[in-house]
């Protein structure tokens, strides 16, 4: 794949583009509607750039689309008019690869399963990359690329990847939201969030070694209704946090068969 067009200039595009370049893949072009971001990323990757989809190089081999899910189809349609023979893939966990099927004969998914940010350098050696493709030859290429840049390649179809993405939302987005609530609770009383760091680290460490179900602790799994009522009272000024607490407690009790009495 001598010509790679990276479509997008957000966090995933930045980290993926840099990793591909480090590993010897030629990102020859960056395309993004945000010209300043496209220019900056292209400079980092020593690539050309444009903020117009029509400027994609017609002999592009691999189009790697790293943009918002809701515009993947629209952007793919525009790109296919100028580079129809390319292998087109997107990086989304939630959107099926078949969203590209109306526009490209060769299409697939290249999904690094990680949360990315600009300021943190990801440890790619630990990142699984999920791939899928419309034909075996392209799937073999995507597996090779995934194994070169990440921990391991996983051939995962659209249905499996959708479930994986839901699980990732629980493991990452929802858990981080709970961390944010905990931080605000402590801040209201002038306490440092660092007090919880050892507890959080131990929880994650145990969850990586054992089944999270087996290591569940707390008042809900014990059926300690008195403690839960006190906690809900303490959250009285935050009705939304009370709802989160109650819903999670009810779910834990149901999963573990804790008694309400």
pLDDT tens profile 6-37: 999 999 999 999 999 999 999 999 999 999 99
- Averaged pLDDT of the chain: 96
3-state helix, strand, coil in the chain (%, to 5): 55, 15, 35
With 0-12 / 13-18 / 19 or more C-beta atoms within 10 angstroms meaning exposed / middle / buried, residue 177 is exposed
Q: Report CA 23 to chain centroid distance, whole Å.
A: 21
Secondary structure (3-state) at 10: coil
> How many helices (DSSP H) and strands (DSSP E) are in the chain?
10, 8
Report the 3 state secondary structure along 167-197: HHHHHHHHHHHHHHHHHHHHHHCCCCHHHHH
Phi, psi angle pair for 48, to nearest 5°: -80, 170
What is the pairing mode between strands 152-155 and 128-133?
A: parallel
Assess whether pLDDT exceeds 90 at residue 1.
no
- pLDDT band at 119; cut points 50, 70, 90: confident
Contact 179, 200 (CB under 8 A): yes
Assess whether pLDDT exceeds 70 at residue 226.
yes
Share of the chain above pLDDT 70, in %: 98
Query: Around 24, how many Cα atoms within 13 Å sit in the side-chain half-sphere?
Result: 5
All residues at 6 or more sequence positions from 192 whose CB lies less than 8 Å from its CB, including other chains: 186
Taking the CA atoms of 41, 44, 50 and 53 in sequence, report the sign of the dihedral they define. Answer: negative
Q: What is the pLDDT of residues 41-64, one digit of tens each?
A: 999 999 999 999 999 999 999 999
Report pLDDT for 259: 54
- pLDDT band at 255; cut points 50, 70, 90: very high
Report pLDDT for 261: 43
CA–CA distance, 100 with 77 (Å, rounded to integer): 8
Diameter over CA atoms, the chain: 69
Contact 57, 84 (CB under 8 A): no
- pLDDT band at 118; cut points 50, 70, 90: confident
- Domains along the sequence of the chain with CATH: 4-156 (3.40.50.720), 162-256 (1.10.1040.20)
Q: What is the pLDDT of residues 170-218, one digit of tens each?
A: 999 999 999 999 999 999 999 999 999 999 999 999 999 999 999 999 9
Taking the CA atoms of 171, 174, 180 and 186 in sequence, report the sign of the dihedral they define. Answer: negative
Compute the residue count for the chain: 261
């Amino acid at each position: 794949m001598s010509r790679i067009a990276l479509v997008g200039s957000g966090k995933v595009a930045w980290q993926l583009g840099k990793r591909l370049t480090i590993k010897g893949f030629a990102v020859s072009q960056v395309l993004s509607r945000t010209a300043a971001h496209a220019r900056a990323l292209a400079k980092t990757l020593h690539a050309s750039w444009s903020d117009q989809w029509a400027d994609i190089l017609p002999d592009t081999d691999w189009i790697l689309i790293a943009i918002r899910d809701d515009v993947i189809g629209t952007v793919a349609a525009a790109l296919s008019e100028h580079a129809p023979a390319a292998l087109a893939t997107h990086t989304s966990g939630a959107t099926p690869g078949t969203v590209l099927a109306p526009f490209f004969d060769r299409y697939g998914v290249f999904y690094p399963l990680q949360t990315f940010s600009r300021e943190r350098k990801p440890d790619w050696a630990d990142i699984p990359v999920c791939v899928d493709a419309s034909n075996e030859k392209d799937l073999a290429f995507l597996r090779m690329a995934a194994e070169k840049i990440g921990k391991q390649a996983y051939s995962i179809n659209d249905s499996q990847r959708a479930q994986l993405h839901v699980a990732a939302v629980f493991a990452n987005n929802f858990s981080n939201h709970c961390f944010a609530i905990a931080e605000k609770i402590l801040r209201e009383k002038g306490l440092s969030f660092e007090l919880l760091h050892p507890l959080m680290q131990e929880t994650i460490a145990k969850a990586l070694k054992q089944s999270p179900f087996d290591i569940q602790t707390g008042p809900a799994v014990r059926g300690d209704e008195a403690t839960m009522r006190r906690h809900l009272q303490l959250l009285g000024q935050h009705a939304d946090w009370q709802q989160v607490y109650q819903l999670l407690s009810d779910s834990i009790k149901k999963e573990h068969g804790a008694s309400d009495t």
